[in-house]
């Protein structure tokens, strides 16, 4: 039982005894006591005034006196206006600490205990370019949210939808066909996704040149874009692909294989995995069939040019194209098909799409279209909309080739971690393999933590060097603290000092020890809150607060050198549990922590 719940129960009993009324749970408000006041937790008296028929100070005084006289775990109280500040005994905190120590995976609920099945779709790359910094935020958010939801008791399905067809993919294909001269990943020495991305950039360069030429001949910008030979050829290639033209289809399969191999290497480097990967090329036909059914039912309408639309103006949105006049599908077509397929396959309670905030309108339309088609589960779709990520020098643009490549960034992070760790002497005395493992761990930890500590809804600027600082709110600071705790526990073991299974209340000697137990005891609430908010930043900032509190404790109080055996035992036990809690918090973020550093 959390401390808040324990105090809520006790306060409820006090109100019943004192005033003869059973208050609603909403009337018993418990919060942590502000640091400038004495006490551990505070009861807010104002919601209880209608029950007590007295002023805030008198109400607080009466409830405080009752609790002090009737519960030995409450040792002191003070009243500040309408706030009752309560202090809990060392026995209470020892009992709390022993309960945490004996609990396996404290703060985590058993998988499936909620009886809910949740699907999280993330990554969702196009096969016309490699993964970049924006994709990294998407992948890290999706993977972390999956772990957080799983540890809140949900059955979680992690899925990827690869956008492997459409006009963008045909742009890379056409550019390679026109300008590639048979180049392959093997002949160029490039990762396949990088090679294909180069031709996406090449297409844009050649297409812009054609537009400028047509404009010089008297066409408007829009006319030039529509009549540029490369664009017309790309549209024809897409029609041939949907018609299963053997030459186009063979080229598509070949180039996509290059990209899939490249993606897999990037996912492995980031520690990202999926339970299932869907491919747009396998789902868009289902979407087209559902659109056709909607047309027959009068939900959609066909225009004179043969295109199919849905009118959402009465719902405050717009008219939306669902099928082009030439019969080819658009993004929302396959999303309609994929959503129905997934709910049929997995009987989902919720489906979460991790997609940038520029697609908010798309998902409003998707939910509304599915509702109009009669799918009751349409309200179970949730768009986890996140802000854009950029570098200090500004925004990235894929088609102009100005993105920060994911592979390059990972390599740079590991290299920087090695450089900064060596400068600070944190690699001294370690073997070559240990150095490689730690630098990989620290580099990736810095990247992941820096991105995940920011609320997903906010735009952010990623600064690689700032993220690897070993001080402040960074991944390496937390990782180094975990390694420090492991070092303390190793030394204790070498000296024959075992971590006790049962802590005595006599071991508490400072306020800092109680503060650490309080923070650890909040871990289940933090995990639950992160799941409700779909926000790994809740976990990240909790891990930082716990780490910061432990470091202050470590610097101010001896652990192994403490002469009082009960105090020493408490501090060793606290250190172990803090280390475990840091490790579990970072695991939820997809971050590993070293035992040496």
Burial tier of 567 (Cβ tally within 10 Å: 0-12, 13-18, 19+): buried
Dihedral, CA of residue 542, residue 548, residue 550 and residue 554, to nearest 10: 170
What integer pLDDT is reported at residue 396 of this predicted model? 43
Q: For the chain, what is the mean pLDDT? A: 93
User: Does 399 have pLDDT greater than 60?
Assistant: no
Each residue's pLDDT tens digit, 217-267: 999 999 999 999 999 999 999 999 989 999 999 999 999 999 999 999 999
User: Domain ranges in the chain?
Assistant: 3-88, 122-277+337-390, 413-588
**Count of beta carbons in the 10 Å neighbourhood of residue 317:** 15
Q: What is the mean pLDDT of residues 21-42?
A: 92
CATH of region 413-588, choose from 3.10.450.50, 3.40.50.1980, 3.40.50.880, 1.10.730.10: 1.10.730.10
Could you give the strand order of the β-sheet that contains 319-323, starting from the edge strand earlier in sequence? 301-302, 308-311, 319-323
Q: What is the largest CA-CA distance in the chain?
A: 93
Tokens 């005595």, residue located:
504
- What is the CATH number assigned to the segment(s) 3-88? 3.30.1360.70
E strand segments, 89-197: 117-121, 155-162
Mean pLDDT is lowest, of 32-36, 146-150, 247-251, for 32-36
Per-residue confidence band for 573, with pLDDT thresholds at 50, 70 and 90:
very high
pTM: 0.90
pLDDT band at 403; cut points 50, 70, 90: low
Name the CATH superfamily housing domain 122-277+337-390. HUPs (3.40.50.620)
Give pLDDT tens digits for 272-305. 999 999 998 888 889 999 999 999 999 999 999 9
Instruction: Give percent of the chain above pLDDT 70.
Output: 98
In angstroms, the CA 218 to CA 220 distance is 7
pLDDT in tens, 336-378: 999 999 999 999 999 999 999 999 999 999 999 999 999 999 9
What's the confidence (pLDDT) of residue 2?
A: 85
Candidates 87, 82, 91, 93; CA nearest to 38 is 87
Q: Tell me what percent of the residues of the chain surpass a pLDDT of 90.
A: 82
Is 467's pLDDT higher than 90?
no
């Amino acid at each position: 039982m959390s401390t808040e719940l324990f105090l809520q129960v006790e306060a409820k009993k006090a109100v019943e005894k004192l005033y003869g009324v059973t208050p609603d749970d909403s009337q018993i408000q418990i919060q942590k006591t502000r640091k400038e006041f004495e006490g551990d937790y505070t009861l807010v008296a104002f919601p209880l005034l209608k029950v007590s028929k007295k002023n805030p100070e008198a109400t607080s005084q009466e409830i405080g006196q009752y609790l002090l006289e009737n519960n030995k775990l409450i040792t002191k109280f003070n009243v500040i206006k309408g706030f009752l500040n309560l202090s809990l005994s060392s026995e209470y905190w020892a009992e709390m600490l022993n309960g945490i120590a004996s609990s396996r995976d404290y703060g985590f609920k058993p998988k499936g205990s909620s009886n809910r099945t949740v699907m999280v779709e993330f990554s969702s790359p196009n096969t016309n370019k490699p993964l970049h910094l924006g994709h990294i935020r998407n992948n890290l958010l999706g993977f972390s949210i999956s772990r957080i939801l799983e540890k809140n008791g949900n059955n979680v399905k992690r899925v990827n939808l690869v956008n492997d067809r459409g006009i963008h993919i045909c742009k890379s294909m056409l550019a390679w066909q026109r300008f590639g001269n048979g180049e392959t990943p093997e002949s160029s020495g490039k990762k396949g996704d990088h090679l294909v991305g180069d031709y996406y950039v090449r297409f844009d360069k050649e297409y812009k040149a054609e537009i400028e030429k047509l404009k010089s001949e008297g066409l408007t910008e829009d006319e030039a874009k529509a009549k540029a030979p490369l664009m017309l050829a790309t549209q024809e290639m897409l029609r041939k692909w949907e018609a299963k033209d053997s030459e186009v289809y063979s080229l598509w399969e070949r180039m996509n294989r290059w990209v899939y191999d490249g993606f897999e290497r990037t996912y492995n480097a980031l520690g990202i995995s999926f339970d299932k990967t869907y491919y747009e090329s396998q789902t868009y036909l289902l979407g087209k069939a559902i659109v056709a059914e909607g047309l027959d039912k009068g939900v959609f309408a066909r225009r004179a040019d043969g295109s199919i639309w849905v009118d959402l103006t009465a719902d405050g949105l717009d008219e939306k194209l669902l099928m082009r006049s030439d019969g080819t599908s658009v993004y929302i077509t396959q999303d309609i098909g994929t959503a129905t397929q997934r709910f049929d396959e997995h009987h989902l309670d919720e489906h979460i799409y991790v997609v940038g905030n520029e697609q908010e309108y798309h998902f409003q339309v998707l939910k509304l279209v599915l509702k109009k088609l009669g799918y009751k589960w349409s309200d179970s779709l949730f768009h986890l909309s996140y802000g854009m990520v950029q570098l200090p020098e500004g925004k990235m643009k894929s088609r102009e080739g100005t993105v920060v490549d994911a592979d390059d960034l990972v390599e740079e992070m590991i290299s920087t971690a090695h450089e900064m760790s060596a400068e600070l002497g944190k690699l001294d005395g370690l073997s070559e393999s240990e150095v490689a493992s730690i630098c990989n761990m620290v580099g990736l930890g810095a990247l992941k933590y820096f991105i995940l500590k920011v609320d997903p809804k906010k735009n952010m600027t990623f600064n690689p060097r700032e993220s690897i600082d070993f001080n402040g709110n960074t991944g390496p600071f937390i990782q180094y603290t975990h390694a420090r705790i492991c070092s303390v526990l190793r030394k204790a073991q070498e000296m024959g000092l075992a971590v006790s299974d049962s802590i005595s209340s006599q071991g508490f000697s400072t306020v800092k020890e109680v503060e650490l137990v309080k923070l650890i005891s909040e871990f289940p609430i933090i995990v639950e809150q992160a799941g409700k908010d779909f926000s790994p930043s809740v976990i990240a900032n909790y891990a930082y607060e716990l780490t910061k509190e432990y470091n202050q404790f470590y610097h101010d109080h001896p652990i192994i050198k403490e002469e009082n055996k009960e105090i020493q035992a408490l501090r060793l036990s606290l250190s172990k549990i803090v280390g475990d809690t840091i490790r579990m918090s970072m695991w939820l973020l997809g971050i590993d922590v070293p035992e040496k550093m």
